[in-house]
Amino acid sequence: MKLPLLLLAGLLCTMQVFADDLDEFNLDDLIEEDFDESAEELLRQFEQKNSHKDLERENEIAAQLAAEAKDQQNSILNPVVEIDPCEKMHCGAGRVCQVHGTEAKCVCIPECPEEPEARRHVCTNRNETWLSDCAVYRQRCLCATNAPGCLNPENSHVHIDYYGPCHEHKTCSEEDMKDFPRRMRDWLFNVMRDLAERDELTEHYMQMELEAETNMTRRWANAAVWEWCDLD
C-alpha cells in the first residue's frame, strides 16, 4: 500500500515541475519569432526580385544607347546622300523639272507670276503683247506638247521680239525699206544670240550660233536658217 502512494506522489511532483517549465516557456514569443523570420525572408526575396528587374532594365537601356550610338556613328561615317533626279536635268524656257517616282521629267510651267509693270511686258514675233516672258515660254510649251491651255497651235513657234508693249506699226519710208535687209539680218542674229545665252536653242542651233560668232560670213546665213526652220 505504501509503494503505490509513493509512486503517485512522485508522479505529481514530476507533473508540477513540467507545469512550471511550461509557465516559463512563452508561446507568444515563439509565434512572434517565427513570424519575424518569415517576414524577413519574404522581404529579402522581394528585394532580390526587384534588384534583378532593375538590373535587367539597366541592361536594356545600356543596349539601346549602344545601338543608337552605333547608328549615329554609321550615319557620320557613311552618310546617306539623297540624289535629286532633277539635279542634272536641264529644262528649256517655259519648262520645269518634276519628279514622278524616281524619274525626272520636264513639264510646262504650271503658272507664271503676275507682272503688273508694263516694262515687264513683252512683244512677240506675232506682234502680240504678253504680260511676261514666262507667259510666252509657257504658252509655247503648251502648244508644242498639245497640252490644254494652248490658245493657238501657231504659238508653238512664238518667241519674244522685244521687251515692252508692242509698238504701233508705222509706214516705212523709202530709206527704211532699203535698210530693211541689213536690219533684218542683225535682228535675226541678235535674237539667235540671245536665245543661245539663255540656253534655249537645241544643240544643233547652238553649234550654228557658235560658228556665226567666230565666222562673220556665216553670221547672217546661220541666223536666217535658224529662223526659217523655227517657223517651219
Q: Is residue 195 domain-resident?
A: yes
Query: pLDDT band at residue 17, thresholds of 50, 70 and 90?
Result: very low
Between 220 and 107, whose confidence is greater?
Answer: 107
How confident is the model at residue 16, as a pLDDT?
A: 54
In single-letter form, the type of residue at position 210 comes to L
User: What is the rounded CA–CA span in Å between residue 147 and residue 15?
Assistant: 123
Q: Is residue 59 domain-resident?
A: no
pLDDT digits (tens, 9 = 90+) for 161-186: 888 899 887 787 888 888 888 888 78
User: What is the rounded CA–CA span in Å between residue 140 and residue 107?
Assistant: 12
Please determine, for residue 81, whether its predicted confidence score (pLDDT) is greater than 70.
no
Between 170 and 55, whose confidence is greater?
Answer: 170
In single-letter form, the type of residue at position 27 comes to L
Please determine, for residue 2, whether its predicted confidence score (pLDDT) is greater than 50.
no
Q: What's the 3-state SS for 13-57?
A: HHHHHHHHHHHHCCHHHHHHHHHHHHHHHHHHHHHHHHHHHHHHH
How confident is the model at residue 227, as a pLDDT?
A: 73
Considering the chain, what percentage of its residues have pLDDT values greater than 70? 70
Q: Is residue 197 domain-resident?
A: yes
How confident is the model at residue 151, as a pLDDT?
A: 92
Helix, strand, or coil (residue 97): strand
Q: Is residue 103 domain-resident?
A: no
The predicted model gives 147-171 an average pLDDT of 88
Q: Is residue 190 domain-resident?
A: yes
The predicted model gives 31-36 an average pLDDT of 53
Q: Is residue 223 domain-resident?
A: yes
Considering the chain, what percentage of its residues have pLDDT values greater than 90? 17
pLDDT digits (tens, 9 = 90+) for 109-144: 999 988 888 888 999 988 999 999 999 999 999 999
Q: Is residue 204 domain-resident?
A: yes
Q: How many distinct structural domains can be found in the chain?
A: 1
Q: Is residue 192 domain-resident?
A: yes
The DSSP bridge partners found for residue 162 are: 123
Query: pLDDT band at residue 208, thresholds of 50, 70 and 90?
Result: confident
**Structural domain for 223, as ranges:** 171-232
